[in-house]
Each structure stands twice: as structure tokens, then as C-alpha cells.
Amino acid sequence: MRLRIEICANFNQDMAAFLLLASPPRAGTFQCDGFCGWPGRCVSGILAAMKQSLAVLVALLVCGCASSNQRDQEADGAYPGAEVAHILAAPTRVEGWNFVRPDGTIITDPPIRLLDLSVAGELRSILMDQETYRTLSRGGGFVPSLGFRLWRDNQSVDVILSLGNDQMMLRYPTMTGQPTTSLASVTAAHDRLLRLAHKAFPDYPK
């Protein structure tokens, strides 16, 4: 008989020890090569019971890992990541900047404005949609068009958009408390973001 199982890293370690794992666990994966070499003619009652018990345990491993992996994926998610997703999930306040005057010229240091909370909901819908990031942005430097600061209690994320070439800059705190910045293309969501810009800032150029 040969049994080889790799389990997700956060699975019950007592169960892992009981099953005498042949190799160390790797997060997010499991592999079972199956039961090999069971006698083909007659199996004693004890051996049959052991086989049935191990089969049940393997099924539990699969279910446990699958559900755990699903929870991890839901928590971590894809871009923009767990930290940003946590803030976007239940924002308590949203503020913003309009960097573009009605005549199209750029303001380098516009005043921050308090915005309607519904803006945060629409922005969340755009940023959590993975289709938003499917298309490459256009060339050129990053020139801020508008920005949003979303708060969840005392945590915040800054979303700065360069709609001239469809790029987005995120600035948010990491688990260590240190801020980090990331850049992404939002070309596929250009029209949705432009509509949001006009809703949030009526003076944004048409």
C-alpha cells in the first residue's frame, strides 16, 4: 500500500501526523496518489476496515482543503489584493480630488472634497471586477485626472486615476503598517470611470 498526501498548510496538523504524510505540506495544494497494492482476492475484515477508514479520511482531507483554499482565495482575492478589498467591502467615508479644470488644464494641488458614499460603491464595483485590468494601458506618463480616498474606520486607500492613458495608482497600508503603491491598467473600464468622474465631480470636463 502506498499513500501520499499533500495538504494545505492550515489543515489540522494532528490529522496530518496521524496519516503519516510522505512529504511536507504545500499551501493550497493536495495530492492523493490513491491506494495501491490492496490484495485482489481476499481482504481480511481488519484490513478492509482500515481501507474504508483511510478512504473517509482522504475524503475529509479533500473537503477540508477545498473549503480552506476557497476561503483563502475569497480573503486574498486577485488584484487589488486583500488589504484594499477589505476597505472597499464596507467603506464608511469617501473623499476625492479633481485635478482637471473645466478648460482641461491641470491643477497640481486641488482641495479634497467629501463625496457621496454611493461613489464608493460604484468604485468598488469597478475595482473588484477583474475585467477592468484585462487590457493594456496606453503609453505616456502618469498625469492625475482625479482621485478618491476611501475610508473604512481608520484605514484608507487612495485611488488616483490618469484617464488620459487609463492608468490607476493605488496607495494603501500593508499588514506591517507601511504604505505601498501599485500601478495598473484600467483601459477596459475607461467609460465606467469617466461616468463616475462626472457623478463625483460635476465640474469634471465632458
Distance CA 192, CA 122 (A): 9
Q: What is the pTM of this model?
A: 0.63
The answer, yes or no, to whether residue 24 has pLDDT greater than 60, is no
Q: Cα–Cα distance between 149 and 120 in angstroms, integer?
A: 9
Residue among 98, 79, 45, 76 nearest 184 (CA):
79
Percent above pLDDT 90 for the chain: 57
| Position 147 confidence tier, pLDDT thresholds 50, 70, 90 | very high
pLDDT at 111 over 70: yes
Phi and psi for 153 in degrees, rounded to 5?
60, -115
